[in-house]
A and B are shown apart, each in its own frame.
Chain A
Amino acid sequence: MRLTGAKAIVKSLEDEGVEVIFGIPGGVVLPIYDALYDSKIRNILTRHEQGAIHAADGYARATGKVGVCIATSGPGATNLVTGIANAHMDSVPIVAFTGQVATNMIGTDAFQEADTTGITLPIVKHNYLVKKASDLPDVIQEAFYIARTGRPGPVLIDVPVDVSRGELDYQRKETPRLPGYRPTYKGHKRQITEAARLILRSERPVLFVGGGVINSDASAEVKKLAVDNHLPVTHTLMGKGAFPETHRYSLGMLGMHGTRYANYAMCEADLIIGVGVRFDDRITGKLSEFATGAKVIHIDIDPAEIGKNVGVDIPIVGDAKAVLKELIQTVDALRKEENSPDLRPWHKLIYDWKKKYPLNYQLEGKLKPQYIVEKLYQITRGKAIICTEVGQNQMWASQYYKCDYPRRFISSGGLGTMGFGLPASLGAQVGKPKDLVIDIAGDGSVQMTSQELATAVIEKLPIKIFILNNGYLGMVRQWQQLFYNRRYSGSCLKREVSPDFVKLAEAYGLKGIRVTDLDQVEPAINEALSHRGAVLVDFQVEEEENVYPMVAPGAPLYDMIGDILYPVEKIHPEKAEEPFL
């Protein structure tokens, strides 16, 4: 089939099953946009390229499919950079197309030329500069394959305008030819057996799950392993939903703003089974004091993650789902041989911690952001897809909105990108049109990509944006309060001056609601949820509320500060589950 380069790109996208792309056109991608005009692929015009790639990212996280975005050369491409880095850190499958100046102009500092493959080299899983139209089908097929297999990640394809205009014979290979790319899926048999024995012999095990479980669709296996073997489970921010948070074995999130009981459990454990996690510094606290008494089993598809930060006793390279399946079977087979210790004392200890140190906050005084998230959780019965911005709002969302299923909590983990939540929620809504999608936002973050409110209205995406408006770059202010003597340098957003979020919402055609008092919270949430279109709610909350508990940067994990310890009964008791057995 004889096609132009641009038509071959569109044909390839159709062959990959792409249903939607997010982007903004410009000179050198006009041939591609022209070809898209005749395609069934939905073409969503965002208001900024960063919006396009975060939307593709949210779409990918919510659906498990590859997100696709497109931008023009030069400034269009550089506007994608934050989103590429974001997807790279959180292992999100994205294929990003960028236009490039014509091949004979490359290297001449032509109009809107930027070295896009050079700029993005450290933040992609792989990238391509396509030199000939005839390379396009192979390159695109490879790009999708690389993006979604192994440890997923972003792949960028830079297409010079003459390549889009050129012609080729379109042919699609059965499978892409990638001699240097062979991810390991099956775990090493002997290692799995050793891991199984360790699990059966441990007295204080903790199963520690992350984003890799969600990428590998392994939450059913995690649950089975945990339930069969009575393993308490803690998760990272990226692992939220990998194991039901309302399950009595759940310890909630660990780390800097994790629960006391999760962090204590990690510190006291004699065995940590990490699955699809990176042991990053927000999780481990002071590395030299991290889980000193524990053996570590680490299951990950990326061999480079194993032993990178924390010493590992049993490394298992492989796909989480495949390895866990084997592990479950092996543990079962060996159970009779092993005289497993009684886990009841361990569960009793955890139960006591849960009773003694529940997540808590003081409800008195001005409107509290935690209360809003709690109410939202109750009213939606935990059924919404939650996207977050970055900062305090993100941590409160993760602490107080429990999540029982994978792909329903979407947050910028590794990069911590303010402005991610709003466009990500658009993408999630596109991918999951029947679901309720909510962006729990901060007043600072949301202003970084607020132009996408137009996209929400025009594309009829009924997202609900709940701004926990504290008038500050709150997380920054919190650190300044705690570690810089309350010198709030450059962190006050002056909400009483600008913006008026309700008017902003209305200007874009959304419904806008303002809430200042406790008793307005529930009606406002109900009103927002029952409105058919997109809604923005401006919750004017306490300015100086902090996220607690907190492990100060550089402190060991057990050293948590800030939460109220006594008397527990008086302050919003989070009911601890009865211990098992």
Chain B
Amino acid sequence: MQHTLSVLVENKPGVLARVAELFARRGFNIESLAVGTTDRPDISRMTIVVDVADKSFEQVRKQLHKLINIIEITDLEPQRAVERELMLIKIKVKKESRSEVIEVVDIFRGKIIDVSKDSIIVEVTGSSEKLRAFEDLVRQYGIKELARTGRVALSRG
């Protein structure tokens, strides 16, 4: 099962390495990981998405907790959290398909942020499912490159 962990960490060198090493050593796979500072410069937030069985998930959580630089771990349940991910996607466009692509971008409330002769770069934000749906739809035109930030999330309320 997929879990989204929101982890507050001390903003110190090496913290990311500690987290990554722990996941690798205990044999847990990270689906995505996003890091950035919070409103406090000495504290960063990591949003980690893992796909593990529930028993192993308890282990991940407890092992993470043992890292000295980790301050707080929250398991964000999807119903009680907002989740977003940002994707940049470079789509091939021909004269004939251009307006069709733009229409899809509009439906997904995407933004075109770069235009060239035979491709455009689109920025789309939303849940992972929405991004996947968008990606599936534009695949027929040809995807040249794609980058995703990984999920970030906050609990509601």
Contacts and interface: CB of A to CB of B under 8 A. Distances in A.
A67 B60 CA distance: 30
A131 B71 CA distance: 22
Interface string A292-311: 00000000001110011000
Contact of B59 (A126, A179, A308): A308
20 contacts: A118-B17, A121-B21, A122-B25, A125-B68, A126-B68, A129-B13, A146-B68, A179-B71, A180-B9, A180-B68, A180-B69, A180-B70, A302-B66, A303-B65, A304-B62, A304-B63, A304-B65, A304-B66, A307-B55, A308-B59
Given A121-B17, A146-B68, 12 more contacts: A117-B14, A122-B21, A122-B22, A125-B68, A129-B13, A131-B13, A178-B68, A180-B9, A180-B67, A180-B72, A304-B65, A307-B55
B156 to A, nearest CB: 25
B96 to A, nearest CB: 52
Contacts of A308: 59
Nearest to A308: B59
Nearest to A118: B17
Contact of B10 (A180, A304, A307): A180
Contacts of B69: 180
A181 interface: yes
A308 B18 CA distance: 21
A310 B71 CA distance: 28
The 8 A-B pairs of least Cβ separation, nearest first, read A304-B62, A180-B71, A126-B68, A180-B70, A303-B62, A181-B68, A179-B71, A121-B21
A178 B66 CA distance: 12
A129 B12 CA distance: 11
A304 B59 contact: yes
A156 B133 CA distance: 48
Interface in A152-182: 178-181
Contacts of B9: 180
A303 B61 CA distance: 10
Contacts of A117: 14
A266 to B, nearest CB: 23
The residue in B17, B67, B68, B70 that gathers the most chain A C-beta atoms within 10 A of its C-beta is: B68
Interface in B103-131: none
Interface of B: 9-10, 13-14, 17-18, 21-22, 25, 55, 58-59, 62-63, 65-72
A479 B54 CA distance: 37
A125 B66 CA distance: 8
Contacts of A302: 66
A121 B10 contact: no
Interface residues of A, number: 18
A125 B72 CA distance: 18
A125 B62 CA distance: 14
A428 to B, nearest CB: 28
A179 B70 CA distance: 8
A298 B55 CA distance: 17
A295 B141 CA distance: 61
Nearest to B55: A307
B68 A121 contact: no
A180 B15 CA distance: 12
A307 B66 contact: no
B76 to A, nearest CB: 19
A190 to B, nearest CB: 20
A117 B68 CA distance: 14
B36 to A, nearest CB: 18
Contacts of A303: 62, 65
B22 to A, nearest CB: 8
Contacts of A179: 10, 71
A121 B18 contact: yes
Contacts of A118: 17
A118 B16 CA distance: 12
Interface string A99-138: 0000000000000000001100110011001010000000
Nearest to B18: A121
Nearest to A304: B62
The residue in A146, A304, A307 that gathers the most chain B C-beta atoms within 10 A of its C-beta is: A304
A179 B14 CA distance: 17
A426 B10 CA distance: 39
Contacts of A131: 13
A179 B65 CA distance: 12
Contacts of A307: 55, 58
A465 B20 CA distance: 44
Contacts of B72: 180
Contacts of A125: 68
A307 B72 CA distance: 21
A146 B68 CA distance: 9
Nearest to A146: B68
A146 B71 CA distance: 15
The residue in B66, B70, B71 that gathers the most chain A C-beta atoms within 10 A of its C-beta is: B66
Contacts of A121: 17-18, 21
Contacts of A180: 9-10, 67-72
A121 B17 CA distance: 9
A129 B68 CA distance: 14
A304 B62 CA distance: 5
